[in-house]
Each structure stands twice: as C-alpha cells, then as structure tokens.
Amino acid sequence: MLVVKLGGNAISGEHAAAICADLAELRRGQEVVVVHGGGPQASTLQKELGQTTTKVGGRRVTDPATLDVIKMVVGGKLNINLCAHLLKAGANPVGLHGASACVVESRRRPPQVIKGGPPEPVDLGLVGDVIKLNDALLRLLLKEGYLPVLACIGASPEGEVFNINADVVANRVAVELKADALVLVSDIVGVLRDRHDTSTRIPQIRNAEHQGLIDDGTLADGMVPKVVEAFDAIDSGVARVHIVGGLSKGDLLAEMAQPGSVGTALLP
C-alpha cells in the first residue's frame, strides 16, 4: 500500500505527466491512494479575484471567500486535471473530496498557537482537523482496482466544508490504511543541508536525528512541520516517508526501489 501526496506545483507543472506515468506503473503492482493540494494555484486565483492571501506560520487563513477558491481550484480544476493525466497514463482514477461520502470527516479547528506565528492562539477560519476517514469507501475502491484521488478538502456529517493541509490528510490516510510508504511530492528535491544548493540533499534521516536538524536550523520554515508530521506518521505505523520533488519519468519508481536515491527517505 502506497500513499502519495502531490503538492500544487507537482500536478500542474511540466512534471505532472511523468509523475502520473510512474503512479500508473506503481498501481499495477500495489494499491495506491493519491492526495493532492493546490496552494499555489489557489493563491493565484485569489490574486486574480482581488482577494488577499493571508497565512500564519505557513498555514492559510480561510474565510468563506477563500474556501470558495479552494473548492473551485483544488476540488474542481486540479482534481479533474490530475484524474485526466492518470487516465491517459493507464490508471483508473476516481476523484474525491471530503464531501464525497464524508471520506475525510472533519471538524473546524479551534484557535491554537501556531509555530512560526504570534504567541497567542490564532483562528484560521474554515480550516479543519481530520476526525476520521471513510476507509471502507477507500478500501472498496482499491479492491475493485481503482486509484482514489483525494482533494485536501474535509467535510462534516452536517455538510460543513473545510480547507485542510494536504500533508495532514495524506499522513492520516497513510496511518489509517497502514501504508508501507508515504511519498510527499512537491517542488523541493528533498531535505537540503543548504536550502539554496540541491547538491546538499540528505538521502536518509532517522527518527532520532530529526530534532537535531531542527535545532541546528537545517530544517526550517515549512519543512519543519512536514518532517515532524511525517515522523508522527512513522511513530503511528507507517513504514517510511519520502520527500521528493522535481521528478522526471522513472524517478518515483527509483525512489521506491532504493529509498533516498532520488529524494530524502525518513526512516524509523
């Protein structure tokens, strides 16, 4: 079982077709679930609509107008386009979002202190926390040979809809489905010792090592929650997590065959 999270840059840039080709190949040998975001595209549409994108500690503040943008971009255009790429590659995708049979059941996140934000609790608005998954639906689709494609949107049984960080959704899916691996795909090639030099990529990081990398500043900004949440998933039973980016055809296959050969593999 493999869970792959695709960031917005990964699914709309030049690498999308190559990634989808590798996903289709991986699906022939194992069950695969895809989770995707769309932050950059949402920010672009907000700008075009005259909205201001507000973030605290890297987390998007989501008012009703912003949530409408997330629905249009993430739950709509990007999900459809990604499924189309996967169809072309020979996979059998099914596009989903939180309101699809409450597959990502959520509740509104209460105000809380955010790392990298102010010292007082922050209300992020219509941002959700994952309560549970409709794993029966996911397992049914997987059993019948489909490839679920989850937009990072949650919903409550009462029909409330929430924006959720895609890494958070992917981590939860990986834990609940007891994934052998979780792959986080973005435009970053992995964890770098020097964030401006891709040749400093760290091939593998063990659980006992990551706090030291935070303390010495190697892990900074958005990479901190990504790595911390990834090791939380490992502590909860996911065998390993891969951070990869800038993928060409065959790169995802290579990273799965040899962890750390293309990106950074996070290991127990």
- Report how many domains make up the chain: 1
pLDDT digits (tens, 9 = 90+) for 69-114: 999 999 999 999 999 999 999 999 999 999 999 999 999 999 999 8
pLDDT above 90 for 223:
no
pTM above threshold 0.85:
yes
Which residue is listed with tokens 């075009």?
Answer: 48
Q: How much is the average pLDDT of 256-265?
A: 96
Of 152 and 10, the structure prediction assigns the larger pLDDT to 152
Beta strands in 68-198 (DSSP E): 93-96, 104-108, 128-133, 147-151, 153-155, 161-163, 181-186
What pLDDT is stored for residue 217 in this prediction? 86
pLDDT digits (tens, 9 = 90+) for 169-211: 999 999 999 999 999 998 889 999 998 899 999 999 999 998 8
| CATH code, domain with 130 | 3.40.1160.10
Q: What is the DSSP letter of 149?
A: E
pLDDT at 226: 86
Helix (H, G, I), strand (E, B) or coil at 44: helix
SS3 content of the chain, % helix, strand, coil (to 5): 40, 25, 35
Would you say residue 116 has pLDDT above 80? no
Structural domain boundaries, residue 77? 2-267
Closest by CA to 191, choosing from 150, 243, 149, 231, is: 243
Q: In this prediction, what percent of the chain has a pLDDT beyond 70?
A: 100
- 57 has a pLDDT exceeding 90: no
Give the pLDDT score at 222: 78
CB-count burial class (<10 Å; 0-12, 13-18, 19+) for 166: buried
